[in-house]
Amino acid sequence: MDKVTLVGVYMTYVNKSGEIPALADVHLNVKAEEFVSLLGPSGCGKSTVLSLIAGMLRPTRGQILIDGEPVAGTSPKIGYMLQHDHLLEWRNIRHNVYLGLEVRGLADKEHCRHADELLIRYGLGGFMNRYPSELSGGMRQRAALARTLALEPEVVLLDEPFSALDYQTRLLLEEEVATILKQERKTVILVTHDIAEAIAMSDRIIVLSARPGTVKAEYTIKLSGKNDSPFAARQAPEFREYFREIWSVLEESHAAAR
């Protein structure tokens, strides 16, 4: 059974200036433990797809299922990590990570100890009592990941989590995050506009059209050599071919969005 299913999903935002159709007839199936990336021009509805899966928005039409059950509001099965880390500057890193637990009423000893373990595992053991402003961009994103995973979600939604980082940090963090999510056997949906990042990290890539977004193309990524490392993936002989093909499909979407 699919972990996440979208069937004929439409989303139209309504505000004072009128209606904005963001998604039209989106179909999507994500298997358990699969890593899927969504690529598409800016404004095509990628973040909307994640917010719908997270139960933060309701579709205008169509169905969204998690483990075959219709989504009805937010669920502890879903972890959502946004581009901006949303760490609270007045709380230290440990208490930022505990925040999600507190909101869910799960801030007991056992959960807090697990959260501490995650921080240590992600190289932040020495920074637990520091404040967000004292951390680098990459460390902040690792703290935000710890906060998301402390809630033990089964599905992790990542909205351009690396886009504000410099290139070197981004490559290192891609590698770390991919390893962590594979080890913890999470189902992952990553939104990015970086084609190379999508190829390096994903089992499958979905390309969306310009707004209203709909699935335009799909690629199952098979790279020879060491597969689980995004860094090694970039050296695989097939990498360039995927890049070229996805680039040309995205070009059409971008042209339509202009």
Residues engaged in binding ligand ADP (CB under 6 A) = 13, 15, 20, 22, 40, 42-48, 211
Strands 78-81 and 204-208 turn out to be unpaired
Q: Which is closer to Mg ion, CB of 159 or CB of 175?
A: 159
For residue 132, give both structure tokens.
């967000």
* C-beta nearest to Mg ion: residue: 47
Question: Comparing C-alpha atoms, which of 120, 113, 197, 129 is closest to residue 161?
Answer: 197
Number of residues lying near Mg ion (CB under 5 A): 1
**Residue 140's binding partner, choosing from Mg ion, ligand ADP, none, with beta-carbon cut-off 5 to 8 A by kind?**
none
- Tell me the closest approach of the beta carbon of residue 6 to ligand ADP, in angstroms: 14
- Tell me the closest approach of the beta carbon of residue 42 to Mg ion, in angstroms: 7
Q: Which is closer to Mg ion, CB of 83 or CB of 92?
A: 83
**Residue 38's binding partner, choosing from Mg ion, ligand ADP, none, with beta-carbon cut-off 5 to 8 A by kind?**
none
Distance of alpha carbon 176 from alpha carbon 143, whole angstroms: 13
- Tell me the closest approach of the beta carbon of residue 212 to ligand ADP, in angstroms: 8
Q: Please report whether residue 47 would count as binding Mg ion according to CB under 5 A.
A: yes
The residue written with tokens 């939604």 in the block is: 157
Question: Comparing C-alpha atoms, which of 161, 151, 179, 178 is closest to residue 79?
Answer: 151
Q: Which is closer to ligand ADP, CB of 15 or CB of 220?
A: 15
Q: Which is closer to ligand ADP, CB of 43 or CB of 62?
A: 43
**What is the DSSP code string of 201-248?**
H-SEEEEE-SSSB-EEEEEE---SS--S-HHHHTTSTTHHHHHHHHHH
Distance of alpha carbon 51 from alpha carbon 81, whole angstroms: 11
Q: Which is closer to ligand ADP, CB of 45 or CB of 138?
A: 45
- Tell me the closest approach of the beta carbon of residue 256 to ligand ADP, in angstroms: 13
The shares of helix, strand and coil residues in the chain, as percent rounded to the nearest 5, are 40, 25, 35
- Tell me the closest approach of the beta carbon of residue 213 to Mg ion, in angstroms: 11
What residues line the site for Mg ion (CB under 5 A)? 47
